[in-house]
Structure formats: structure tokens, C-alpha cells
Amino acid sequence: MAEVKVIGASLSLFCTRIEWALKLKGVEYEYIEEDLKNKSHILVNSNPVHKKVPVLLHRDKPICESLLILEYIDEVWKDNPLLPQHPYQKAIARFWAEFADEKCVMGAWGACQAEGEEKEKAVESAAESFAYLEKQLEGNKYFGGEEIGYLDLALGWIPHWLNVMEQVADMKLLDADKFPLLHEWAQRFIQLPLIKECLPPREDLVNYFAASLTYMRSLKANHQ
Amino acid sequence: MAEVKVIGASLSLFCTRIEWALKLKGVEYEYIEEDLKNKSHILVNSNPVHKKVPVLLHRDKPICESLLILEYIDEVWKDNPLLPQHPYQKAIARFWAEFADEKCVMGAWGACQAEGEEKEKAVESAAESFAYLEKQLEGNKYFGGEEIGYLDLALGWIPHWLNVMEQVADMKLLDADKFPLLHEWAQRFIQLPLIKECLPPREDLVNYFAASLTYMRSLKANHQ
């Protein structure tokens, strides 16, 4: 039995960041694909509070919440540190990772769903959040400095997932003119072989987001 | 000029946890009371994203978000460790601290605001979240084990703030029969001299929550 297991869903941006971290650390793991429409006992028992993926099982002990899993991985396997060593830099990295999950992931998905007049406002509001990230890249190749780190992994959904959201919802959030550093970073990050090999096929993501969007809009239409 | 400053609001449960941590570590600090109705330049400049208290200023560098500030304090000042040393225990403490801020603080405040039939449901739903915390105390004197730690500070609002909320909203959430361990922990925690001395006067909290409740209910009444 594998010492390290990941319970995940292959299209989830929150799960892919865990696989990236384990691969960066050179940790072998068994991947268990979860059917989110029919949740397994192992998921429900491992994460009884939220019943969400990803869950990391290390010697059968479950760790939940993707950003906390990244911290755990970094503390257990010391090679290739993910978080900065200095407490202040560490606090800053944690701050932006939480900010991005709360404001950028949710902002981008909100903009996807918005229609008509609301759409422009939602795209603008999400862009304001992305502008904070752009500033963090000034003078840096990666969010982690010269090498990728915790914050790069936390933001690693941007080049692939955001790009698909933009296509499906016919909008432009990550404008190269407006966010040149973020745009360059995204190109650089996604070309790294270790990052590339974990990405779900673009077509699957397009189908997934298109279906989710249709579903959300039908819900909204029935409640207006 | 003080090396360590806390920008806070004396009635905020998120700010008091920072003062507890600094006192536990024996760190001297200057406390700056913020007027949340007329936010200062120092707050807006230190926390431009959220513009919220608390902010810790260490040698003029700002750290925001109370749980992240606790981690920072624990990493910079090593005496009296707050977080467990083992990565797994650390991940668990972080998980429950985030859970409590998201589900218990918000759940209790939601139950305060609810009226009529909704109230019973909201109290029940919040109680379900508190039941998870009760389980964490099995076999332990404090959430941190034999001594108070990070999770005790994060949950330290329960004995004082929740008690006031219960009075103001005429409800009972922390029932001693239903949550004996949490109830005993709350009594034990609040009697610690270092904890007690940072608590805002009960009367001020009662007035604050009563006024907030009246305001929230008038907002709701005008939108129905």
C-alpha cells in the first residue's frame, strides 16, 4: 500500500496543485480519482466536515484543504522548499494565496456566469484582484523569486483554467497589455515540463466549464 | 518608536487573539486603536486590500489576517510555541482554526440575526459546527493539550463574545449539557490571568452587539 495517496478530481485546480507539489518534492504517490457525483466512503471518512477533494492521505492520516496540504507537504519533505524561509515572506505568500483563492478564483468564475450589463462589471472587479497579483511579480521571474514555489503552485490555475474560462464565457481577463508580468509568468510557468504533465486535457476542461455554465445559468433563469 | 505595533479595535475578537499571543510570548508592543468608521491612513496603507484590523506592524512591515499574524508571531518569537511542532498536528490545528472562523463565528452571528422560525434552524446549524470542536477536546485540557496554544487563542472568543451574543440575541448555543468539554474549556480558558486581562468590558460588548443587531434587522426589514 502506498504511503502517500491523493484523493482528487482530475479537472480540479485545487487538486492539481497538490500533484505539482508532490512531484516537485519527488514524493511518489497513488492517485485516487473521486466521483464527485457519488462520493466514496474514503472521501467522506477522510474529510467528514467538507467532503471535498483534495485530501492527502499520509500513512492513512488525512490532511484537507489544498493550501494546508501544500504547507504540510513542505514541512514533511524538506527538499525543494516551497514556502519562503523568512517569516515575513512566508506571511506574504500565505496572504496572497488565500486572497487569490477567495477573490481571483471566485471573481473569475463569477465573471464567467455574469451576463449582459453585469458581465462588464464582474470582469472589471475580477481584474482589480488580478492587478494585485501583477504587482507581486515586479522584479521577479516567479512569485517564489528565481524558482517556483508555494504561491506559483497556488496561482498555477491561471494559465490553463482561466484561459479555458475566458474561452467558454467569451471574455478576456488576463489581457497581456494590462497584465504583462502576469501574462509572461503564465507562459513561463505552463511550459515547465513538471507543470505541463499534470494538466488535464484542455478539451475536457472546456466541456466541463461549458456544462457548468449552462447549468448555473439555467438555475439563475429559473429563480428570476 | 515601538518595534511591534498592533492596529486593532478593542471589541474585535480577531484583534484580541493577537494581543494574547504577544503577551504569551512576552513581546512588548504598542497598541493603536482604530476608528473603524473613519479608517486611518496607517490602516489603509498597511492593509490596502482588505482595510481591516488587526494589522501587526513589525519594524514597520505590515502583516494582515489574524490567523496569519498568529503564525508569524510564532515563527519570529520562539518562546512558548503556539502551534504544535509536528506537521500533522499543525495541519489539524490550522484546519480547525479556519473552520471555526468560517463556520462558528459566522454561524453564531447568523443565529443572532435570525428571527422566528429561522432562528431555531440557525441555532441548530451553528451547534452542529460547535459539535466538531467539542470532539477535538476529548482527552485534552486545552485544544493545545496541557497548555494553551494557537487553536485556543483562535477559539478564545467563545467564552466571552459568544456568551454576550447569546445574551443579546436571547439564545443558547454553548449548552453545558450538550457541550460539556467545550463548556469546561471555556471556563478554564477565561480564568487564565493573561487571557482575562485583555478582554474588553462585557458591557461595551453588549452595547456593541445590541446596536449591530438592531442595525442588521432594520436593514433586513427594509429589504423585504
Architecture of the domain made up of A4-76: 3-Layer(aba) Sandwich (3.40)
Which chain A residues are within 8 Å of B76, Cβ to Cβ?
87
From residue A193, how far is each of A20, A81, A162, A197, B165 by CA, in Å? 11, 19, 20, 6, 54
Q: Is the pLDDT of residue B41 over 80?
A: yes
* Chain B residue with minimum CA distance to A100: B49
CA proximity to A68, closest of B128, B145, B67: B67
Please report the ipTM that was assigned to this predicted complex. 0.96
Q: Do A65 and B95 touch (CB under 8 A)?
A: yes
Could you tell me what percentage of chain B is helix, strand and coil, using 3-state DSSP and rounding each to the nearest 5? 60, 10, 35
Residue boundaries of the structural domains of chain A: 4-76, 87-219
Average pLDDT estimate for B139-148: 95
Q: Do A72 and B61 touch (CB under 8 A)?
A: no
CATH 1.10.260.40 fits B87-219, yes or no: no
Angle between helices B106-113 and B117-136 (to 10 degrees): 160
* Chain B residue with minimum CA distance to A88: B72
Pairing of strands B4-8, B30-33: parallel
Pairing of strands A61-64, A55-58: antiparallel
Q: How many CB atoms lie within 10 A of CB A11?
A: 18
> Per residue of chain A (224 residues), what is the pLDDT tens digit?
689 999 999 999 999 999 999 999 999 999 999 999 999 999 999 999 999 999 999 999 999 999 999 999 999 999 999 999 999 999 999 999 999 999 999 999 999 999 989 999 999 999 999 999 999 999 999 998 999 999 999 999 999 999 999 999 999 999 999 999 999 999 999 999 999 999 999 999 999 999 999 998 888 888 76
Q: Do A95 and B61 touch (CB under 8 A)?
A: no
Q: Is B116 on the interface with A (CB under 8 A)?
A: no
What would the grid cell of residue A164 be?
479555458
B4-76 and B87-219, same CATH topology: no
Nearest-Cα distance to chain A for B154, in Å, is 17
A31 pairs with which residues across the strands? A6
Distance CA B220, CA A79 (A): 53
Distance CA A72, CA A70 (A): 5
Which chain B residues are within 8 Å of A61, Cβ to Cβ?
88
Out of A68, A98, A132, whose CB is closest to B91? A68
With a CB-CB cutoff of 8 Å, which residues 70-99 of chain A face chain B? Answer: 71-72, 75-76, 87-88, 90-91, 94-95, 98-99
